[in-house]
Amino acid sequence: MIIFCEECGSRNDLSADAMEEGLHSFACCHCNETLVVSRPSLRGGCHAFADLSAKGDTATSGGDRPISILIVDDSTVLRKVLKEIFSADEQLKVVGEAQNGLQALELLPQLKPDVVTLDVNMPVMDGLTAIKHIMIKCPTPVVMFSTLTGQGSQETFEALRYGAVDFLQKPSSLLTEDLKSQHDLIISRVKNAARAGIDTIRYLRLAQQDQRPMPANGATCQHVFAIGSNYGSYGALLGLVPELDPQTPAAYVAVLYATPLHVEAFVHYLDKYSPIRVNRATDGRSSMAVFVI
């Protein structure tokens, strides 16, 4: 079972053997804060520390129950648009709406949705604050919606660090894709998020790289590593790339299934937290770095 520390937000894994006992207390693996989990918390659904794995399996294993969704956005128009998009698919069901993060936190224990779609910028409680509370109090797969412009891209990728499964750009007639393609993409990514479940959720602690170590003098690129990724793989790359050793005589190519706008924003963000340079792949460029296509 996954338990998130209320003090620091880090993930702790509770073994199956420990779950069979009565009252459990143990130290957080990161901050040493004492965590106490009672048997009702382990068995009682969406509680302070909730076990949602069984619910997730039911929703995504081909059963009759559709995937339940909680829409969180301060825009009445966008909530209506998203509800219409999800209602068009019989495998999806909107079980609730919230205007801000605080309302979402109040609804989560009642509705127990399989997926939460969450806006970044909202009054009362914004999306970044809300996702921290969600992952601590009621871990649920979250798909972020963002404009991905300016500060919006920074906030979106911060949400991935805090545990969001995926992110999407808000549907708009101004985008290059037609509305039907946008709607199909949203439906597909929400279904993928439901299948991901809470086992994929973890908080990534990344340090911004102000001073990067230089490769060894005279080093040449001896290896090329290719990394294939699909929708919802941003979190995996955030966990992998910052751990690469800049002294390794190698170049890395990550193929990311995303729009050019998403790739540019993600490369810029990932480069700030990686000891090795991260660039958008272009013709003729070769060096010991990470290239994202």
Q: Which pLDDT tens digit goes with each residue over 228-240?
A: 876 667 777 887 8
264 and 285 in a single domain? The answer is yes
- Assess if residue 211 is contained within a domain: no
What pTM does this model have? Answer: 0.65
Percentage of residues in the chain with pLDDT exceeding 70?
63
- 172-215 residue pLDDT tens: 766 556 788 889 989 998 998 888 766 655 555 555 666 555 55
The pLDDT of residue 119 is 92
Q: Report d(CA 202, CA 161) in Å as an integer.
A: 8
Select the highest-mean-pLDDT range: 65-69, 162-166, 202-206, 211-215: 65-69
Cβ–Cβ under 8 Å, residues 249 and 223: yes
d(CA 165, CA 19): 26
Shared domain for 121 and 253, answered yes or no, is no
Quickly state the pLDDT bin for 49 (edges 50, 70, 90): very low
CATH number for 71: 3.40.50.2300
Verify that 111 and 80 share a domain, yes or no: yes
For residues 17 and 156, membership in a common domain is answered with: no
Q: Is residue 193 part of a domain?
A: yes
Residue 283 pLDDT > 80: no
Domain containing 264: what range? 223-292
190 shares its domain with 239:
no
Helix axes 76-87, 179-196, angle to 10 degrees: 80
* Structural contact between residues 231 and 257, judged by C-beta atoms closer than 8 angstroms: yes
- Give, to the nearest 10 degrees, the angle between helix 53-60 and helix 179-196: 140
Arithmetic mean of pLDDT over the chain: 75
* Confidence at residue 91, expressed as pLDDT on a 0 to 100 scale: 95
Domain tally for the chain?
3
Q: Residue 62: what pLDDT? A: 47
**Is it the case that residue 241 has pLDDT exceeding 90?**
no
Residues 182 and 62 in one domain: yes
Return the percentage of the chain with pLDDT > 90, whole number.
Answer: 25
Residues 236 and 277 in one domain: yes
**Residues 59, 189 within the same domain:** yes
Asked whether the predicted pLDDT for residue 278 surpasses 90, the reply is: no
The answer to whether the CB of 292 falls within 8 A of the CB of 260 is no
187 vs 51, which has greater pLDDT? 187
